[in-house]
């Protein structure tokens, strides 16, 4: 018996697909890269932007034919999309070839649902509204190479006005610190993972709901002091909550990655206010300065939305100037996509799609130029790096400050190990290096 999982969206979904794979393997299923061979096909969906939703619907609809030729095939749809009532109803009524629909809060019940569906030969359409802590014993088949994802919080309380996540993922809940540390200890003991990435929509608010003084800084410290050579990463940091204490802890421990993902979204104070981000451009730049003071070698990455309702040409220019001023190692750039029932979707002055496209193009060009410059400056420098993957004869490594380096003529035995790399050249922002 074979299974095939198609995952859309963020790392949270990637990790949840590992849990679904774990449950399927416990039931005796084996992974297949070919949909045609599968007995169970799962779509783990995302609804952050319209494009993500449309792609998923298109691919789910395209399976009708396969199901017709193979009536015993089980098709499941889960993740963030069915957490919206409208999507759940659409899947139920318009996609009768889908057998199981479930959400993010009852994901750990998937084995049971699958077995019931097979036994009773009945469709199962069930999502839960409230966030829950997924049980610590949920099986997992990890698929991210030398990296292991570890959930620290579920849900989000921030209600940025453009964002669907708090509506589909529910209120923020933190996992108890001892449970997280136990999971990390087990991962390190297995000696299969050299990198641990802590996951939460806003990792900096970890512990707020536990009301026992637990903080993200303490969690970072308690993991960083564990034995063994490993890299500790985390995402995502909301700028409003990244306290000095967190930055100081990162600076104190070499094991914590010096690439900090700190999404700014916009460089304009008017837009930041309308987005309900609860910080200003000046505050954000002050946080960046503090990070650079404590860790001159730190790399920063960010997310930006262009074309938020009411964004004027000047607002957009403010975003460009902030991007230049910070100098990001990596930037993820999006055109605003209205999401049903979020406050921004009904704001006046929605921006024309063509304007959004032009703006995102300009931003991409700016960032490409900055990255090319930045890459040139790395030539001749040495960095400590983790060798992450070996593909087509090329070893890829990521430095402590988050630079991706490609190394030719190296051994694949190095994957999972740390070492020194020297940057020898850069082509269109791609760094080439050698071992030292």
Task: By CB under 6 A, name the binding residues for ligand SF4.
Answer: 156, 158-160, 163, 165-166, 201-202, 238
Q: How many CB atoms lie within 10 A of CB 141?
A: 16
Residues present in the chain in total: 436
**HEC sequence for 31-49:** ECCCHHHCCEEEEEECCCC
From the list 280, 263, 262, the residue with the least C-alpha distance to 271 is 280
Distances 34 to 38, 101, 131, 195, 417 between C-alpha atoms, Å: 7, 22, 33, 29, 32
Taking residues 33 to 52 in sequence order and writing x for each that binds ligand F3S by CB under 6 A, - otherwise, the string is -------------xxx----
- Which are the contacts of 160, defined by CB distance < 8 A and separation ≥ 6? 265, 275, 276, 277
Binding characters for ligand SAH, 202-231, by CB under 6 A (x = yes): x-----------------------------
DSSP-assigned beta bridge partners for residue 333: 304
Q: CA 23 to CA 39: how far, in whole Å?
A: 15
Residue with tokens 């921006």: 351
In the structure encoding, which two tokens stand for residue 83, read together?
């957490």
As measured in angstroms, the least distance from the Cβ of 281 to ligand SAH is 16
**DSSP secondary structure string, 180-236?**
HHHHHHHHHHTT--SEEEEE-TTGGGTTGGG-SS--HHHHHHHHHTSSSS-EEEEE-
Chain residues 45-84 in contact with ligand SAH, contact rule CB under 6 A: 48-49
334 is a contact residue toward ligand SAH (CB under 6 A): yes
Residues 6+ apart with CB under 8 A from 407: 387, 394, 395, 396, 397, 421, 432, 433, 434, 435
Applying CB under 6 A, does 56 fall inside the site for ligand F3S? no
For the CB of residue 115, give the shortest distance to ligand SAH in the complex, in Å: 33
Residue 131 interacting entry, from ligand F3S, ligand SAH, ligand SF4, none, C-beta within 5 to 8 Å by type = none
Q: Which stretch binds ligand SAH (CB under 6 A): 309-317, 333-341, 379-387, 404-412?
A: 333-341
The residue whose two tokens read 């070919």 is 34
- Interface with ligand SAH, residue 197, by CB under 6 A: no
Pairing of strands 299-306, 330-335: parallel
When the beta carbons of 147 and 236 are compared against ligand SAH, the nearer one is: 236
> Under a CB-based contact definition with an 8 Å cutoff, are residues 306 and 331 in contact?
no
Q: Which residue is nearest to ligand SAH (CB)?
A: 303
Which secondary-structure segment (H or E) carries 371? Answer: helix 353-378
Nearer to ligand SAH, 309 or 416 (CB): 309
Sheet of 147-151: strands edge to edge?
A: 147-151, 195-199, 231-235
Q: Does 277 bind ligand SAH (CB under 6 A)?
A: no
Selection from ligand F3S, ligand SF4, ligand SAH, none that 339 binds (CB < 5 to 8 A by kind) is ligand SAH
Under the binding rule (CB under 6 A), the answer on residue 203 touching ligand F3S is no
User: 336 or 383, CB closer to ligand SAH?
Assistant: 336
The helix/strand count (H/E) of the chain reads as 13, 19
Place of tokens 């298109």: 58
Interaction residues for ligand SAH, span 159-188 (CB under 6 A): 162-163, 165
Residue count, binding to ligand F3S (CB under 6 A): 13
The yes or no reply on residue 295 touching ligand SAH (CB under 6 A) is no
Task: Determine if 249 is a binding residue for ligand SAH (CB under 6 A).
Answer: no
159 contact choice in ligand SF4, ligand SAH, ligand F3S, none (CB below 5 to 8 Å, kind-dependent): ligand SF4
Closer residue to ligand F3S, CB minimum distance, 164 or 187: 164
Interface region with ligand F3S, contact rule CB under 6 A, candidates 7-15, 139-147, 206-214, 282-290: 7-15
The rounded distance, in Å, linking the Cα atoms of 127 and 103 is 5
Per CB under 6 A, which region of 83-91, 242-250, 331-339, 382-390 contacts ligand SAH?
A: 331-339
End-to-end C-alpha distance for the chain, whole angstroms: 47
Site for ligand F3S in 236-255 (CB under 6 A): none
Tokens of 293: 């003071």
Q: Which listed residue (9, 82, 200, 416) binds ligand F3S by CB under 6 A?
A: 9
Closest residue to ligand F3S, based on beta-carbon distance: 9
Contacts with ligand SAH, residue ranges (CB under 6 A): 48-49, 162-163, 165, 201-202, 236, 238, 263, 265, 303, 305, 334, 336-337, 339
Contacts with ligand F3S, residue ranges (CB under 6 A): 9-10, 12-13, 46-48, 79-80, 164-165, 168-169
């Amino acid at each position: 018996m074979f299974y095939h999982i198609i995952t859309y969206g963020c790392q949270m979904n990637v990790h949840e697909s590992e849990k679904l794979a774990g449950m399927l393997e416990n039931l005796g299923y084996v992974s297949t890269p070919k949909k045609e061979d599968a007995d169970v096909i799962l779509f783990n969906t995302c609804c952050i932007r319209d494009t993500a939703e449309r792609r998923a619907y298109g691919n789910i609809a395209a399976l009708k034919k396969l199901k017709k030729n193979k009536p015993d095939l089980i098709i499941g749809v889960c993740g963030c999309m069915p957490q919206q009532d409208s999507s759940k109803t659409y899947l139920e009524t318009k996609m009768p070839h889908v057998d199981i629909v479930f959400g993010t809060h009852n994901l750990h019940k998937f084995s049971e649902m699958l077995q019931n569906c097979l036994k009773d030969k009945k469709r199962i359409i069930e999502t839960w509204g409230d966030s829950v802590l997924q049980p610590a014993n949920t099986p997992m088949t990890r698929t991210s190479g030398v990296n292991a994802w570890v959930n620290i919080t579920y849900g989000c309380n921030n209600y940025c006005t453009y964002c669907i996540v708090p509506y589909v993922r529910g209120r923020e809940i933190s996992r108890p610190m001892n449970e997280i540390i136990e999971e990390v200890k087990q991962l390190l003991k297995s000696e299969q993972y050299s990198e641990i990435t802590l996951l939460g929509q806003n990792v900096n608010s970890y512990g707020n709901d536990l009301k026992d003084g637990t903080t993200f800084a303490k969690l970072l410290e308690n993991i960083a002091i564990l034995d063994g050579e490993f890299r500790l990463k985390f995402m995502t940091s909301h700028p409003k909550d990244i306290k000095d204490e967190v930055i100081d802890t990162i600076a104190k421990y070499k094991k914590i990655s010096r690439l900090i993902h700190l999404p700014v979204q916009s460089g304009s104070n008017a837009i930041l206010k309308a987005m309900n981000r609860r910080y200003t451009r000046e505050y954000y730049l002050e946080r960046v300065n503090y990070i650079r003071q404590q860790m001159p070698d730190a790399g920063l990455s960010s997310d930006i939305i262009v074309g938020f309702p009411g964004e004027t040409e000047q607002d957009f220019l403010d975003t460009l100037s902030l991007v230049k001023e910070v100098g990001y190692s990596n930037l993820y750039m999006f055109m605003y996509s209205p999401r049903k029932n979020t406050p921004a979707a009904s704001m006046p002055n929605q921006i024309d799609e063509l304007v959004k496209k032009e703006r995102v193009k300009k931003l991409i060009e700016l960032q490409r130029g900055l990255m090319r410059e930045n890459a040139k400056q790395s030539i001749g420098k040495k960095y400590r790096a983790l060798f992450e993957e070996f593909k087509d004869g090329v070893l890829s490594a990521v430095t402590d400050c988050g630079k991706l380096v490609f190394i030719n003529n190296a051994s694949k035995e190095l994957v999972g190990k740390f070492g020194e790399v020297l940057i020898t050249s850069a082509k269109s922002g791609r760094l080439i290096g050698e071992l030292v």
